[in-house]
Structure 1
C-alpha cells in the first residue's frame, strides 16, 4: 500500500549518488543563505528597536504647567562681580521682579571680577523677558561689561537620562554659547520662541520639555 502511495509523489528525491555539487550551485546557496540571514537580522533589529513617533498637539493641559513654564539658566558674566548682578523678570501680565533671588546661586569667578549665576524659576506663558542686569544693586559697577558665556538654558522638564530623543540640540541651542568676542559696554538681546513638547519613554514616563529657537542681536 505504501509503495502505491509513493507512486503519487511529484517531488521525487534524486539519489545522492546521482547528484554532483558545483561551484555555481555553492555560490547561489551562499548568496541565498546570506540574503535570508540579513533579512532575519533586519527584521529582528526593527522588532527590538523602539520607534520614536512625533505628534503635533495644540496644547498640553495634562502637564500641569498650563500657566507657568520652568526655566533653568546657568550663565557666567565675566567682568561684573556677584554683588552687582541679578536676574530681572517681567511680562505682559504685569509681573516685574528685579533681582530675583529664590533658587539662585551666585559663584564668584575670575578672581572675584566675574560671577556665575545658576538659577531656576518659572515664567508665565505670555510674552515677556528675563535678563541679567545690575538694576537690583544700589551701587553700580564702574564698567558695565556684560560679556558672558551661557553654560545652559532650558525650558520645562529636564531630558537628562532620555537617550532616544531626535534633534536633542533643539532643547538647548544656547548650551556653551560664548559671547566674549563682542565689544564691551553693549547690551545683548536674545529673541526666543519656545514650543511645548511631550516625551514619553517605553515605561510610559512622561516629560514636558520645551524646544526653542533664538535670534541674537
Structure 2
C-alpha cells in the first residue's frame, strides 16, 4: 500500500532522467532524441531526477505553432532541449555537430594554429595589394594632346661656367620654317663665378615637327675668339612634369650631364627621340608629358673659312608611339573573392591533412595493440 504501480508495459526512463514527471500523469519512457510525443503529437519534456522539489512544469493553455522551443519545452536552466526543426530549418546546409561528438587532438591544434597564421599572412599580403595602386602601361599610335595646338613646352636649365651671360643665347629652328635667334621670352640668365660664367634657365615651346634648339653665341653683338662651351645640364624636360613614384621613365634623361672636362672649343650634339607620354590617375584626370632617349657626340667643326663657332645642339624628332600609364586599384569584389578562396582553401587542405594524420595515428595504435595481444 502507498506505492502506486505503473502502467503495464511502461518502460524505464533514460539514464539521468529516472523519476521524471511527465505532463499527463504516469512515468513514460523517453524516446532517443528528446523524449516521446504524447497525445495529439505534442513533444513531452523530461524533468531531470532529483528535482521533485521544483514546481512541475505545466503546459500553457494555448501556444501558437510558432512558439519558441524554450516556451514549448520549459526545462531548467542549462538542460539540453530537443526541439522539432521548423520548415525553414530544413534548408540549413551548415548542420551543426554537437561538441560531444567531436574529439580534439594535439596534432589538430598544431595544424589549426599553423592554418590561422598562414591565413593571416595571405590576408595581409592581399590587403597590401588591394590598398596599393597599380600602374598599368600601354602603347598605341596617336597624338594624345590634341588641344596643345601642335606645340610642346620645353624647360631648359644649363650652366656654362666659362662663358659670360651677355654672350649666351638660345636659337630655335625646325622644318616648318621657324628660325629664331636669341630667344629671350620666359628666360633668365644668372651670372656665375663672379660674372665669368652663366646659368641659363628658359621656358619655351617647339612645334611637333623635327627641329633643333641650341645654346650658342650667335645672338651676341660681338663674337668671342675662343668661346668655352663646357657645361652642366641640370634639367631638360618636355611637357608637364610628372613626379610619380611608380613610374620610372626618362623624363629628364639629360639631367646631371657633366661636360666640364670636354674640349672648350668643341661643339656638342644631343640627338633626342621624344616619346609622347600620358599619365591618367584614378580620378580619370590626364597629364601629358614626354620622355626621350638621347645620344650625343662631341666634335670641333671646321669649314673652308676656318673653325666654326661651337654650340650646344639639341636635335629632336618625335616618335609616333604614345606611352600611357594608368592608375588602377584592385576591385573590391575581386579582393573579397580572393580572401574567401584563401580561407576556404586553407581550411580544406588543413582539414584533409589533419584527417590523414589522425587516420594514420589510429591505424598505428591498432597495429601496436594487435602486437601486444
TM tier relative to shorter chain: 0.7 to 0.9
Residue 93 (structure 2) pairs with residue 13 (structure 1) = no
After superposition, give the CA deviation of every residue in 1:54-105 in whole Å (9 maximum; x if it has no partner): 1223223444225111100000011101000110101111111111000000
Q: Paired residue for 2:323?
A: none
Name 2:78's counterpart in structure 1: none
Determine if the alignment matches structure 1 residue 109 to structure 2 residue 202: no
Greater Rg, structure 1 or structure 2?
Answer: 2
Q: 1:177-192 alignment to 2 at 5 Å?
A: 177-192=257-272
Residue 29 of structure 1 corresponds to 112
Deviation of 1:151 (Å): 0.5
Residue pair 2:145, 2:288 contacting (<8 A) in 1 also: no
Aligned-pair RMSD on alpha carbons?
2.3
Matches within 5 A, 1:83-98: 83-98=166-181
Pick closer, same or farther for the CA change 1:61–1:171 going to 2, 3 Å: closer
8 A contact 2:144–2:276 mirrored in 1: no
The yes-or-no answer on 1:60 pairing with 2:60 is no
Contiguous gaps of at least 5 residues in structure 2: 1-42, 44-81, 86-93, 298-373
Aligned-partner Cα distance in 2 for 1:100–1:53 = 39
Distance 2:255 2:296 in 1: 14
8 Å Cα contact 1:80/1:141 also seen in 2: no
Q: Which moved more, 1:181-190 or 1:56-65?
A: 56-65
- Name which of structure 1's ranges 204-213 and 46-55 shifts more when overlaid on structure 2: 46-55
Give the TM-score normalised by structure 1: 0.87
CA contact (8 A) 1:80 1:113 kept: yes
Question: In structure 2, what is the equivalent of residue 209 of structure 1?
Answer: 289
Q: Give the deviation of 1:12 after TM superposition.
A: 3.6
Are the aligned partners of 2:279 and 2:287 in contact in 1 as well (CA < 8 Å)?
yes
Contact in 1 for aligned 2:274/2:293 (Cα 8 Å): yes
Kept in 2: contact 1:52–1:164 (CA 8 A): no
**Corresponding position of 1:81:** 164
For normalisation by structure 2, the TM-score amounts to 0.52
Deviation at 1:21, TM superposition (A): 4.9
Which structure 1 segments of 5+ residues have no match? none
1:142-178 deviation line (CA, Å, top 9, x unaligned): 4211010000000011114xx344223x111111111
Give the total of aligned pairs: 210
Richer in strand (by share): 1
What CA distance in whole angstroms lies between the structure 1 residues aligned with 2:84 and 2:287? 71
SS in 1 for 2:122: helix
Q: Against the structure 1 CA distance between its residues 173 and 62, is the aligned structure 2 distance closer, same or farther, given a 3 Å change threshold?
A: closer
C-alpha distance in 1 between matches for 2:118 and 2:187: 60
Q: Whose RCO is larger (CA < 8 A, sep 6+)?
A: 1
